[in-house]
Chain A
């Protein structure tokens, strides 16, 4: 099933990409336009994903391991945390957003219970803020909480 979904997804992407490439100015061999290279890529992609789609649907389906869903759940939760991070960063700035994501990940990975995970998450985020932002001068997203640290430094 996974192979089939991937094949369909890739083929759809190829169709969209080739159509997008076709819509750009192709130019001529004498004066190649911005669409020539994308069109070549699009054709190549379309041919390869077409063959892959055909091969995948011809092959009999392989049974999937039963315990996969347990670990897949962990991966889905970790993915969600990483995808939500840009939104959190936009509203909460570095320390709070990163703490929320790291704490959630520790809880998901079931390390030592909520209290220990809280301490570890807080410690690692504050440590990384001090090292990267305050010592190395890395530009991160700063807000009121980060300002407190800078004021403490003086």
Chain B
């Protein structure tokens, strides 16, 4: 009952004109970035991170939620109409969505995708409300050892689930930790790795690193790849209505995709993308007509599109309940909160109820806005693809430069952003993904402080830090995740022999 009262209060905050405006602008920016290949939601969030300083904390969160959800919607539009995934979570939609468009059912695919995203968004927000309240109150009993264990377990899962090589992901995690360690040690006042540069004593800010690794490096990546945009066929409004049969086939995958997406969103890694793959495979396995998959099966659109939106809601749970971002997008959201001197965690619901419930309520509103916006305006959004990249790239760079400089008026920050952009681009060329680095950079302060506090409290007894019930369980889970594939492989070899 109390939860519903809080939610009602949240709606009163989310429906304030300024917050509605932030949600609307966020949804439009998100949809555009989802449509444009190369500039994904992460790049957009990184570029606009500094501008959230000029909003209140709730406004910043609402703005970012709009971008994230909008990108999921926008990505599906180009996947279905042009066979171009605007961002990674829409790759799987290309398979059946584009086939439907070729058969003249592109409008129906877009409608199912939009409705599925709305349903999934709503289900995941309900899940987020319940899970965050439960996990938040449980986390109040957590001490420093538990937070160390959560951090370690999260990083292990991240290594395991990140795209590409595990070794490369691990290196990126250690690099992120190394970047965090620059600056003054607040417990002892000792300077670490500052190289005699005064500005570095305050540490390397998250903002220029994130904007460089995600924003500027994506600019380089887009300049490097000479991708040609396709031309989309206009979608007529009457084509957008799915047939009764199409609705009947779409509804169960929407709900299944929502649950799959929400659960996968709780796990570290590129949750929206993984959830679409899992949902697609599940739908194909369950389907009475698996042969239709790849030829334009509507279940292949409804399931994954619902899953990627639900994963967004799921990804908010560890951030809001524990203060730990498990995905790079959530690291950006945390960065926005940190700019407002707010540290999310178990106490967030109690200490900042306006912020928490306002954001939850604004997610509903953002989903509703996207449903109303995207279907009638699909042809306008698709035309954005015609913007020449020669104009787009300098404008993005200019926004990034203005954004980074405006926060601290620091030339060093500009230099760091440029260098991170170059390093991020070079790393991507050799298969290193920047996401683990940025997440490690954000988790590291909690990890170091909790570790040192735990050792101080236990009088230097490492066993007491590790062998507590919750910690032990989390370390065993982490170990199991690392060892399980190897064990399965060994057992199957032995069984074959």
Contacts and interface: CB of A to CB of B under 8 A. Distances in A.
Interface residues of A, number: 62
A129 B452 CA distance: 46
B402 A41 contact: no
A44 B455 contact: no
Nearest to A129: B402
A30 B181 contact: no
B341 interface: no
Contacts of A75: 220, 223-224, 425
B448 interface: yes
Interface stretch (B9-17, B289-297, B387-395): B387-395
B111 to A, nearest CB: 36
The residue among A24, A36, A55, A124 with the most chain B CB atoms within 10 A of its own CB is A24
Could you say which interface size class chain B belongs to? Answer: 35 or more
A48 B393 contact: no
For the complex, would chain B's binding face be called helix, strand, loop or mixed by DSSP majority? helix
Contacts, number: 164
A139 B226 CA distance: 36
B460 interface: yes
B456 A31 contact: yes
B56 interface: no
Interface in B154-190: 167-168, 170-171, 174-175, 177-178, 181, 185, 187-188, 190
A133 to B, nearest CB: 9
Contacts of A17: 178, 193
B411 A86 contact: yes
A34 interface: yes
A71 B401 contact: no
Interface of B: 54, 167-168, 170-171, 174-175, 177-178, 181, 185, 187-188, 190, 192-193, 216, 219-220, 223-226, 388-391, 393-395, 397-399, 401-402, 405-406, 409, 411-412, 414-415, 417-419, 421-422, 425-427, 429-430, 432, 447-448, 451-452, 455-456, 459-462
Given A45-B178, A79-B421, A139-B409, A34 B190 contact: yes
B54 A110 contact: no
A118 interface: no
A139 B175 contact: no
A37 B391 CA distance: 45
Interface string A15-44: 001001100110011111111111001101
A25 B409 CA distance: 33
Contacts of A10: 171
